[in-house]
Amino acid sequence: MASMQRPMPTEPGILQFMEICDSFYPPDAVSASITQQRQWYDALCARFDRPLPENMKIRDDVVSGAIPVRYYVPAQIRTDTKLLYLHGGGFVVGSLQSHHAICAEIADHAGAELISVDYRLAPEYRWPAQTDDCFSVLKQLLAQKTKVVLIGDSAGGNLAAGLAVRAKSEGLSGIDGQILIYPALGGDLASGSYVEMAEAPGLTTADVAYYREILQAPQGDPVSAPLALSSVADLPRTFMTVAHYDPLRDDGRNFAARLAQAGVEVWFREEPQMVHAWLRARHMSDGARNGFAAVCAAASRFTGSR
């Protein structure tokens, strides 16, 4: 049986990005030890690190006695609404530092304070530790009568969408929007983009299966797999962006379509030349630069800062 041809973008900037990623993070990374995976990922993130925007104030703290968070306060605050950022990394890798410059730049563009959550990682901590940590931070913000916009990429997009589901089920108000960046939402691994983009660069369907197995979230739980929701009505207005060359692509497509059908306000973008994790390529790829500008514009729109 002939092997499936690897789908590949053609944009020079994203090809250069992929080449750099491959030099830090081998394609079979998930077969290595968790410690090794985290070392590779941290080194990769450091390679794409950037100086922070001028006069950005950073403060680390702990919420609920145990959950590390990092506050980003830009030089100019134009809104009282806060951004809550949940990082990607398959629930296995990633930290406050891995998305440090990304968070700072979004906060600066939106003129809004941003809080990043260092939730517990698998396999040391299985589901629902990750969503529980993030929900604790969200509830503290909402208890202060703070309006919140949720943001997350990849695994963090899963967590952000799950928080909106939890907040709705518990009757909590105050979420003014959610920004989901190539999120994992619990789609069927044997259909759609999981088949078409099974061997996509940056993330394969086998990788997604690996991360699901490590997390051990219950199948069909609408918090861990928002596509399993029987009704998506009354969820917050949503900005969704997906990468064309990504097995997770149709999770975002399908969830955005369901939200729109249910009357939820939705903005949807599919980045035609992007691969998973394109956020890191925002300063070297035209497609990623445009996609990141759209994310920042959504943060400004949802916080009312523009």
Strand, coil or helix: 266: strand
Q: Measure the CA–CA gap between 90 and 244, rounded to whole angstroms.
A: 19
Q: At how many degrees (to 10) do helices 129-143 and 155-169 cross?
A: 60
Out of 87, 99, 100, 276, pick the active-site residue. 276
User: Residue 95 is which amino acid?
Assistant: S
Q: Does the active-site annotation cover 276? A: yes
Out of 95, 98, 116, 154, pick the active-site residue. 154
Q: Measure the CA–CA gap between 125 and 305, rounded to whole angstroms.
A: 37
Q: Does the active-site annotation cover 246? A: yes
Q: Measure the CA–CA gap between 105 and 280, rounded to whole angstroms.
A: 12
User: Residue 129 is which amino acid?
Assistant: A
Q: Does the active-site annotation cover 154? A: yes
Instruction: Answer whether 99's CB lies under 8 Å from 154's CB.
Output: no
Instruction: Answer whether 119's CB lies under 8 Å from 163's CB.
Output: no
CA proximity to 191, closest of 233, 145, 253, 116: 253
Distance of CA 301 to the CA centre of its chain: 18
Out of 108, 118, 133, 246, pick the active-site residue. 246
Active site residue ranges: 154, 246, 276
